[in-house]
Amino acid sequence: MASLIANPGSSPPPAEAYLPPRERWLVAAAVMSAAVMELLDTSVVNVSLPHIAGNLSATVTETTWVLTSYLVANAIVLPIAGWLASRLGRRRLLMAAILGFIAASFLCGIAPSLPLLVAFRVLQGLSGGSLQPLSRAILLETFPREKRGQAMSLWGAGIVTAPILAPLLGGWLTTDFSWRWVFFINLPVGLFGLTMISLFIHDPAYLRRRRGPIDGWGLGMLALGIAALQIMLDKGQEADWFGSHYIAVLAVLAAIMLAAFIVRESVIPHPVVHLALFRYRTFAVGACLSFVLGFVLFGSLVLLPLLMQTLLGFNALQAGAWTSPRGLGSLLFMPVAGWLIGRGFDQRRLLLAGFLVAGFGLYLFSKLNLETGVWNLLWPQLVMGSALAFTFVPLSTMTVDPIPNPEMGFATSITSVMRNIGASVGISFTTTLLARREQFHQTRLAARLTPQNPQLRQRLALLGRLFRHAGLPAPAARQHALALLYAGVLRQSILLSYLDDFFLLALVFFLVAPLVFLMRRIHYGAPPARAAASGGE
């Protein structure tokens, strides 16, 4: 690995070594079916939790472990997917992962109790953790550098739209069939992907299976650290964060284990995760921006359906349906982003525009009100979804451009885990901020409900007369009037907390946008520049 890191100018295979165009797209279909299947399962179960709780005699709080167990297991495997592929071979690992995912999905679908369902979800997460990074690595290596924009536009269409469409799919399957079909639907998709991979995926000649010693200590530190971090982020708000001894212990454990893992991986000769790839400036910046993208994208994906159901009267299926225009915008503009990249357009400018316009879409969400209709929700989502196409495609392409092909699996594993950790942090941060800002606005607005407020007295008098006309005695009429006014204060404070969250997410995109110019511009037709010639690239 050291020789590869020292020579970032190692060229990809010559153009004639790549597969013909038709076979490239067959490879793309094979790996995308597996990746999208796995990604759907990160959020498709969300809307089914009340049904699972009722069917398995559990509380909704207890059933959240169905989500947490999958995310924890998935997060443990993500960073070591490249290492596993280097030892087992990508084709063998992909087929084993899909087989494991299909088997675990079937077991989840027939689970008779919640503990067994959680155990089978752990197996599902462990099996599926390697599908995303390996699929992306195969796509990047299958297409020539000048065609990678097209490959990433296809990849981005699946990665961006799958989490958006997952609640809609989960709501439909749960409502019209059963929550068990949320898992059974994976079987035909997985079998299709397994067949395609067995026919069209082959390990490249430069992927030599490495027979070095297994770093058991490193694997243990990584597993403990990632598991503790994921559980802390998922359960922190529910347990009042560091007011809980349980959460504090998880935070300390995560910090110690991950710090020790980073130190160990930096000095041993056969690391599980190739942290030396961060010596590439473009890769390091791209990995950080992937974290930000996961933070904002998944944070906003949690907020919008909650806003629809909490304040606007949508049910779960309607909320899922009216969240989907963001995916439509991405689908429409992903091919445009790929075409512009193929034409040699400066990808840094595309990425800058993507962050700024997506931030503007989030800013539009911060201007919603309690009278918002469906069309007011449509346009900001189309704006943001379209902008995400110009964010995801160039970011995916530029980040790994200086990485030699033999290291591509390690690079995509790192960027995938950065995006997933960003997603977990974003969801935890936005839900925590939502609760804190709701308390703040409720206190601020309630402080204005004093007898000295003439508008309050007028409103109470009007409502009191209405309730008395309805037959209530004067004391009861006044109590009902006060309760109605306070309910209005609560609704307004909840709305303001959502608007604060959207504004902050928009601000994050605006602030990180200039960082794109720390990345090296890609010039197709020539191999990537060497580190010495690119100022430490």
Query: Which pLDDT tens digit goes with each residue over 120-142?
Result: 998 998 888 888 888 888 887 78
Assign 216 a pLDDT band (cuts: 50, 70, 90): confident
Assign 511 a pLDDT band (cuts: 50, 70, 90): very high
Residue at 299: amino acid letter: G
**Would the pLDDT of 10 be above 50?**
no
Higher pLDDT, 285 or 332: 285
Question: Which 3 state secondary structure label does DSSP give 434?
Answer: helix
Residue at 491: amino acid letter: R
Cα 527 to chain center, whole Å?
Answer: 32
Give CA–CA dist 495/437, Å, rounded: 10
Average pLDDT rounded to a whole number, residues 346-370:
91
The DSSP call for residue 164 is: H
Higher pLDDT, 62 or 9: 62
Least confident of 170-174, 429-433, 461-465, 495-499: 461-465
Give CA–CA dist 100/108, Å, rounded: 12
Cα 149 to chain center, whole Å?
Answer: 21
Assign 162 a pLDDT band (cuts: 50, 70, 90): confident
**Would the pLDDT of 507 be above 90?**
yes
Query: Which pLDDT tens digit goes with each residue over 380-399?
Result: 888 988 898 889 888 988 89
The reported pTM is 0.79
The DSSP call for residue 212 is: P
CB 498, CB 314: distance < 8 Å: no
Query: Which pLDDT tens digit goes with each residue over 440-486?
Result: 888 887 776 666 666 666 666 666 666 666 666 666 666 666 666 66
**Would the pLDDT of 111 be above 50?**
yes
Give CA–CA dist 393/139, Å, rounded: 13
Assign 17 a pLDDT band (cuts: 50, 70, 90): low
Nearest to 403 by CA among 272, 316, 227, 276: 276
